[in-house]
A and B are shown apart, each in its own frame.
Chain A
Amino acid sequence: MAKKEDKIINELKDKEYEFGFVSDIDTEIIPKGLNEDVIRLISKKKEEPEFMLEYRLKAFRHWQKMEEPDWAHLNYKKPEFQEISYYAAPKQKPKLNNLDEVDPELLKTFDKLGIPLEEQKILSGVAVDAVIDSVSVHTSFKETLNERGIIFSSFSEAVKNHPELIKKYLSSVVPYNDNYYAALNSAVFSDGSFVYIPKGVKCPVELSTYFRINAANTGQFERTLIIADEGSYVSYLEGCTAPQRDENQLHAAVVEIITHENAEVKYSTVQNWYPGDAEGKGGIYNFVTKRGICKGNNSKISWTQVETGSAVTWKYPSTILKGDNSIAEFYSVAVTNNHQQADTGTKMIHLGKNTKSTIISKGISIGQSQNSYRGLVRVSKNAVNSRNFSQCDSLLIGDKCGAHTFPYIDVNNTSSIVEHEATTSKIAEDQIFYCNQRGLSTEDSVSLIVNGFAKEVLNKLPMEFAVEAQKLLAITLEGSVG
């Protein structure tokens, strides 16, 4: 029995990172290091208005006084912040009218990832705003969206074209001094995505952004801001892959979501950043702050994430349920392999009356990885008749990995109900034998069982993303292809 499990584990561990290639795009990088001059330079290069520079400097000055947190169940070498270059933009013509004008190397990169933009535009009806490194290079479907008054652009463009919205909403959910990495992001963020859905508008397409980290030693600091005005709806997808390299790369993004009365935002992520090699060398540090606020009554925010990548993940997409009757959901699948470490979960802060939150977390640990769920459910005194249901399931493959659950529950009234369920299981040898006996290889069996384990969450993903996520799970789990 032990022999068989070892074999399975070895097969799984040997799976190389499929998207590990470096594309040779001419990149403009500013020198390494971080100080006020660098921040002024970033702001200047992006031709930002004065209020943005002030915001960045305020965040930077605060960040300098902060300590890097170490409460997470993670063990890693702290990044050398002066060894990072804080800005990299692909050298491009300033404006692109169609795909022919895009750097052919860049298009090749997208091809390798299997995300041909043109095909996506036509076939799937997904508007793609592709972000390579830090600057948006391609935006599609703009006209369709424009007709409905929907704004979907790079963050920099939004700063130029809609400064009043940026001023009003930037940092309204994640303050510049919220935490160490959010402060750093606020100081140096290079670009990201901006979405505004006007009153009563249901966005007819799923908005999608592909992020990639490309230049060596370039920390990527993305900023995303999504605003759903009264009675509006949008489904936003974010997916990422990154090329393979030796030095650790830092990624510290901030995502903010605001839903007004009767509005709904569905936010889905598939994250597949380079996790490091089998010995735990290299890999992305992913320290992300994602938070939404159900600001208006009857509003809803739904987070769905599939996390398979990164060497170290520190991520808690959270929701503040401020409006009465507001609803928040968190669906997560996190897979860790080899020496990967993930400390991920959510926070549900119930402030409004009759608010409802659901947490479904599925952790899968393989090899020597550590996978932690950390979640907070807080129900304030005024959030009467509120409900939370949490379910945290862990699946272990092999006996060298770990799964941990840290639920924090804080209820301050007597009319609310909070439920927490947790299970830990292993893939059993008899399950694999059963599949083998039906003609399935051990790899296929494990993939099938894991997909089944994660189904509740995968079902929450938009169709085309669900297919991609299943592929990604299979890739992460399989021994070798062919």
Chain B
Amino acid sequence: MLKIKNLKANIEGKEILRGINLEIKPGEVHAIMGPNGSGKSTLASVLAGRDIFEVTEGTVEFNGKNILDMSPEDRSCEGIFLAFQYPVEIPGVSITNFIKAAVNSHRKYRGLDPMPPAEFLKLMKEKKALVEIESKLTNRSVNTGFSGGEKKKNEIFQMAMLEPKLAILDETDSGLDIDALRIVANGVNALKTKDNASLVITHYQRLLDYIVPDFVHVLYNGRIVRSGGKGLALELEEKGYDWIKE
């Protein structure tokens, strides 16, 4: 599904990613761990197409297509979803209107007419139940005045609505209490099928108790320095990151 080969990227001339290689197949959950500043969030942003980063080398293929030449919105419509570490506020735009615009933009990309309102409302209700968000929340402006937990739940709700093929969760666990963490993780797990995949970026092993990865990669200094199974996360938890830096 996703094939990253020798990916190098920099921001304002500073190299952050120094040759990433990673392959993700349908149905798999991959976790990326690593210390602060190792390039985890940069990888997420580059995959989503944020243009403040410049890709200098390497290729990224998504379902056989080279996505590095695609606009961020086209990548989204191809099925890449990024749950942001810091979701931005959009004052005055309700979640309902926002996600309706997004859903219909995806449909347009696939040559479909906008979703009929009744069908849309039904879908919303279903997905809201899935991620256990309060009904009222979707009437509020996107992320405006939301608590940390509400912001992250909103991300998972949008993910549920857009049904991506690849979900990238960028430190979704940061700033969450244990209950919110459970809800978010349950949402992610409920959305899992044999055809989609997840890339979970996290600092802590804690999230991986809830979202169990098939593979764990350690990112350090812009490269994946170690890969393994779930056991690797536990090892990191125990030993910290220092030993991989050697």
Overall SS of chain A's interface: helix
Asked if A124 is an interface residue, CB under 8 A from chain B, the answer is: no
Contact partners of B76 in chain A: CB under 8 A: 436-439
A452 touches B91 (CB 8 A): yes
A444 touches B82 (CB 8 A): no
Contact partners of B51 in chain A: CB under 8 A: 1, 3-4
Number of residues from A at the complex interface, CB < 8 A: 26
| CA–CA, A252 and B236, complex, Å | 74
| CA–CA, A125 and B93, complex, Å | 30
B91 touches A453 (CB 8 A): yes
Contact partners of B77 in chain A: CB under 8 A: 439
| CA–CA, A452 and B91, complex, Å | 6
Asked if A451 is an interface residue, CB under 8 A from chain B, the answer is: yes
- For B97, give the chain A residue with the smallest CB separation: A448
With beta carbons under 8 angstroms apart, the residue of B89, B92, B98 that contacts A438 is B98
* Among A93-101, A405-413, A427-435, the stretch in contact with B: A427-435
Asked if B21 is an interface residue, CB under 8 A from chain A, the answer is: no
A436 touches B90 (CB 8 A): no
A436 touches B92 (CB 8 A): no
A452 touches B93 (CB 8 A): yes
Asked if B87 is an interface residue, CB under 8 A from chain A, the answer is: yes
Contact partners of A448 in chain B: CB under 8 A: 90, 93, 97-98, 101
Asked if A454 is an interface residue, CB under 8 A from chain B, the answer is: yes
Q: Closest Cβ of chain A: how far from B2's Cβ, in Å?
A: 16
Asked if A456 is an interface residue, CB under 8 A from chain B, the answer is: yes
B90 touches A440 (CB 8 A): no
A433-B72, A438-B102, A439-B162 known; A455 vs B84 contact (CB < 8 Å): no
B84 touches A441 (CB 8 A): no
Q: Closest Cβ of chain A: how far from B108's Cβ, in Å?
A: 9
Contact partners of A428 in chain B: CB under 8 A: 88
Contact residues, B73-124 vs A (CB, 8 A): 73, 76-77, 81-82, 84, 87-93, 97-99, 101-102, 105-106, 109
Contact residues, A417-465 vs B (CB, 8 A): 428-431, 433-442, 444, 448-449, 451-456
A440-B101, A441-B105 known; A452 vs B73 contact (CB < 8 Å): no
Contact partners of A429 in chain B: CB under 8 A: 52
Contact residues, A84-100 vs B (CB, 8 A): none
Q: Closest Cβ of chain A: how far from B169's Cβ, in Å?
A: 13
B90 touches A452 (CB 8 A): yes
A437 touches B90 (CB 8 A): no
With beta carbons under 8 angstroms apart, the residue of A435, A441, A451 that contacts B92 is A451
Among A1, A3, A437, the one with the most B-chain Cβ atoms within 10 Å of its Cβ is A437
- For A449, give the chain B residue with the smallest CB separation: B90
A1 touches B52 (CB 8 A): yes
Number of residues from B at the complex interface, CB < 8 A: 31
| CA–CA, A439 and B75, complex, Å | 8
| CA–CA, A431 and B91, complex, Å | 10
B158 touches A438 (CB 8 A): yes
With beta carbons under 8 angstroms apart, the residue of A3, A437, A455 that contacts B72 is A437
B88 touches A434 (CB 8 A): yes
With beta carbons under 8 angstroms apart, the residue of B92, B99, B109 that contacts A452 is B92
| CA–CA, A453 and B144, complex, Å | 12
A437 touches B88 (CB 8 A): no
A440-B101, A441-B105, A452-B141 known; A434 vs B87 contact (CB < 8 Å): yes
- For B12, give the chain A residue with the smallest CB separation: A1
A430 touches B88 (CB 8 A): yes
| CA–CA, A438 and B99, complex, Å | 8
A441 touches B90 (CB 8 A): no
Contact partners of A438 in chain B: CB under 8 A: 76, 98-99, 101-102, 105, 158, 162
| CA–CA, A181 and B88, complex, Å | 46
A434 touches B102 (CB 8 A): no
Asked if B49 is an interface residue, CB under 8 A from chain A, the answer is: yes
Contact partners of A439 in chain B: CB under 8 A: 73, 76-77, 102, 105-106, 109, 162
Q: Closest Cβ of chain B: how far from A470's Cβ, in Å?
A: 11
B93 touches A451 (CB 8 A): yes
Asked if B71 is an interface residue, CB under 8 A from chain A, the answer is: yes
Among A4, A429, A439, the one with the most B-chain Cβ atoms within 10 Å of its Cβ is A439
B48 touches A437 (CB 8 A): yes
Contact partners of B89 in chain A: CB under 8 A: 431
A3-B51, A449-B93 known; A441 vs B73 contact (CB < 8 Å): yes
Q: Closest Cβ of chain B: how far from A432's Cβ, in Å?
A: 9
| CA–CA, A456 and B72, complex, Å | 30
With beta carbons under 8 angstroms apart, the residue of B72, B98, B158, B162 that contacts A436 is B72
Contact partners of B141 in chain A: CB under 8 A: 452
Beyond the given A434-B90, A436-B71, could you list 10 further A-B residue pairs with CB under 8 A, ordered by the A residue number?
A435-B102, A436-B49, A438-B98, A438-B162, A439-B73, A440-B102, A440-B105, A448-B98, A453-B91, A454-B92
**Between-chain CB contacts (< 8 Å), 18 pairs:** A4-B51, A431-B88, A435-B98, A435-B102, A437-B73, A438-B76, A438-B101, A438-B158, A439-B106, A440-B73, A444-B105, A448-B90, A448-B97, A449-B93, A452-B92, A452-B93, A453-B92, A455-B92
Q: Which residues of A contact B (CB under 8 A)?
A: 1, 3-4, 428-431, 433-442, 444, 448-449, 451-456
The 3 closest A-B pairs by CB, nearest first: A452-B92, A452-B93, A436-B72
